A and B are shown apart, each in its own frame.
Chain A
Amino acid sequence: MNFILDYYNYWIVVFLMMAGFYIVISANNLVKKIVGLNVFQTSVFMLYISMGKVSGGTAPIVVEGVTEYSNPLPHVLILTAIVVGVATTAVGLALVVRIKRAYGTVEENEFDNKDDAI
């Protein structure tokens, strides 16, 4: 039982990551691919935040009388990663808009030339 309590969080996070990863590589629609990338990345963020948690700790902002804080470093890393993620999303979506304009479709199986398919 202890074993499960120790790890359940990581296992669910792994499931979420793989759900996102599956959407990226299986989706036919390019917008959905981008959604999948976001789900994938957000789940990886959860992995980091989970490892920063200290049971019984509080948010890493100094408060009188509190000695147990959760680890601030993973939070910093993920703040950075979130912003990187939105930057990639913006560029990806801009590409999708242009692809729609150039090809008339954003469905992977509708590109006329198979070289152009993604």
Chain B
Amino acid sequence: MLEQHLPALPIILPLIAAPIALLLGRSILSWGFATLVSGLAFIFSWQLLAAALSDGVLSYAVGGWAPPWGIELRVDVANAFVLLAVTAISTLVLVYSKDSIEKEVKAANHSLFYTAHLLCLAGLSGILITGDAFNLFVFLEVSSLATYALVSLASDRRCLTAAFRYLVMGTIGATFILIGVGMLYMKTGTLNMMDLAVRIDAYDSSRTINTGLAFIMVGVSIKLALFPLHMWLPPAYTHAPSAVSAFLSSTATKVAVYVMIRFIFTVFGIEHVFVDMGMGLILMVLAVVAIFKCSYMATVQSNVKTVLAYSSVAQIGYMILGLSLVSVAGLMAGMIHIFNHALMKGALFMAVGAVFYRVGSVDIKAFAGLGRKMPLTMAAFAIAGLSIIGVPLTVGFVSKWYLVTAALEQDNWIVAALVLLGSLFAVVYIGRVLEAAYFQKLPESQGSKNIKEVSWLMLAPMWVLVIANIYFGIDTSLTTEAANSAAEWLFQADSMSVSKALEGQMSDTVVQEVSS
């Protein structure tokens, strides 16, 4: 019975669990429950990815109403792959958050925290899985509202202004998406994404559709923090509770990147976006500027969480850069980096959160001498940091390798050189922290004597991610296979919508034949 409902389960499971977590009330109960639910969602998304790899597309008509009249859930390799990363990180972060949240969030708000986390997870899964453009907006708002709550739960007052800025920017982004979807609906009369793709192809060029595309792209760019619309991200990730920073940095913006990919490849089509509208160049320029400007910003911050936040914006630049190359290899590099970046940033933010747990500060000065006091935490930071830099045998190297290969495939030496040059900044900002941790002396004070390693409950999820960083850096078969078939699938989806337009019908059999 579960098989049949597999595409719906990763959404409805956390959705139903969220109010229950609130009713459980006690901190420890709602923590255990939320972790369990998130773990189940991870298992389901694992099965979904396996099913998508073997069958191509899974379509699920919510309410039994056939698309385009009802809402369709649509799982393919691409979104199943991102979903796997999201649910995995969510589960690990939940394990981690028990201790971390106890320190950083008021006891009365603990069950609210876990409820909001589950709501956010449900929203992100919904965004990934839904095949309906308006439904995407609804789940975008579910995850956004939960996120504002999560960010503002920290004890430092600066989280409030950060959350407010995030709320204003996020709502503007969502409203832009709403305008864009409205314009598409106006010209096509449908909201289903596959159906939209077919009907948009029927227009050679339409000002309304092009404007709709532009508004959706700008709206999504705000959500994924594409330079120069990233200004909400650094304060939000800096001042949110550490567990929240770890969760959001490795999931929320990645999901938005996927939304951009989905709209470009499965709704509008490559030709429309890159050839007719010339967005490839715009995206490429913005991505390169993001990599350099924000990597530079990361090197001059004193707060390590801010360093990591700016680094995130730069890493998003790499993903968009891969996408803007408009090739299977480039898109694959982007997809693989979505997954890999989740592993690195998750581990880094968890390590920094562990430092905050013991030292009470995340200023770079507070890291002095921690290499001895908290060896496991700092080792985790070091390995994940090397991964961000792109040292061989880590996932960071895999991402950069494929990105550079994709650029060279098009003889684009400039982009390839810029990618490598960007890594030098990462050497600086990660190096500064490591230098403080391993080569500076612990300041002599009463409090510093009591600093010791954090509990295994915080170390275990951190190290799971660190090991994943190395494992997937050596044995790349799983990630590359999934990312590659995702990229190929997205390119096919585009050409397919054209062939479907010729047939003029909405049937899944066609889709499955082409993809298998």
Contacts and interface: CB of A to CB of B under 8 A. Distances in A.
Contacts of B161: 99, 103, 111, 116-118
A99 B141 CA distance: 23
A87 B174 CA distance: 14
Contact of A96 (B138, B144, B164, B235): B164
A84 B138 contact: yes
Contact of B164 (A47, A73, A80, A118): A118
Contacts of A19: none
B164 A44 contact: no
B235 A115 contact: yes
B178 interface: yes
Contacts of A92: 164, 167-168, 171
Interface string A62-95: 0000000000011001001100100110011001
B485 interface: no
Interface stretch (B18-26, B179-187, B310-318, B462-470): B179-187
Contacts, number: 76
B379 to A, nearest CB: 31
A41 B149 CA distance: 21
A24 B172 contact: yes
Interface in A43-67: 44, 47-48, 51
Given A47-B182, A77-B134, A81-B178, A98 B145 contact: no
A90 B495 CA distance: 44
Contacts of A87: 141, 145
Given A33-B168, A95-B164, A96-B164, A51 B158 contact: no
A44 B145 contact: no
Contacts of A116: 158, 161
Contact of B167 (A77, A88, A98, A115): A88
B160 interface: yes
Contacts of B148: 91, 95
Contacts of A115: 158, 235
Contacts of A37: 168, 171-172, 175
B167 A44 contact: no
A44 B180 CA distance: 10
A33 to B, nearest CB: 6
B182 A84 contact: no
DSSP majority for the A interface?
Answer: helix
Could you say which of B145, B165, B167 has the most chain A C-beta atoms within 10 Å of its C-beta? B167
Interface centre among A30, A77, A117, by most chain B C-beta atoms within 10 angstroms, is A77
Contacts of B157: 102-103
Nearest to A96: B164
Interface in B369-419: none
A80 B134 CA distance: 10
A98 B152 contact: yes
Nearest to B187: A51
A102 B160 contact: yes
Interface string B170-198: 01100100110010011000010000000
A41 B191 CA distance: 20
A82 B178 CA distance: 12
Interface string A11-45: 00000010001001100001001000100110010
Interface residues of B, number: 28
Q: Which of A24, A40, A91 has the most CB of B within 10 A?
A: A91
Contacts of B182: 44, 47-48, 51
Contacts of B141: 84, 87-88
A78 B107 CA distance: 38
Contacts of A111: 161
A95 B179 contact: no
A76 B141 CA distance: 17
Given A80-B138, A88-B141, A41 B164 contact: no
B163 interface: yes
Contacts of B235: 115
Nearest to A10: B186
A25 B476 CA distance: 45
Contacts of A81: 137, 178
A26 to B, nearest CB: 12
A113 B182 CA distance: 40
Interface in B124-176: 134, 137-138, 141, 144-145, 148-149, 152, 157-158, 160-161, 163-165, 167-168, 171-172, 175
A111 to B, nearest CB: 7
Contacts of A73: 191
Contacts of B144: 88
Contacts of B149: 91
A30 B161 CA distance: 10
Contacts of A118: 161, 164-165, 168
B186 A51 contact: yes
A47 B184 CA distance: 12
Nearest to B181: A77
Nearest to A71: B189
Contacts of A95: 148, 152, 160, 163-164, 167
Interface of A: 17, 21, 24-25, 30, 33, 37, 40-41, 44, 47-48, 51, 73-74, 77, 80-81, 84, 87-88, 91-92, 95-96, 98-99, 102-103, 111, 115-118
5 contacts: A33-B168, A73-B191, A80-B134, A103-B157, A111-B161
Q: Which 9 A-B pairs have the closest CB atoms?
A: A102-B157, A95-B164, A84-B141, A118-B165, A116-B161, A51-B186, A99-B160, A98-B160, A92-B167
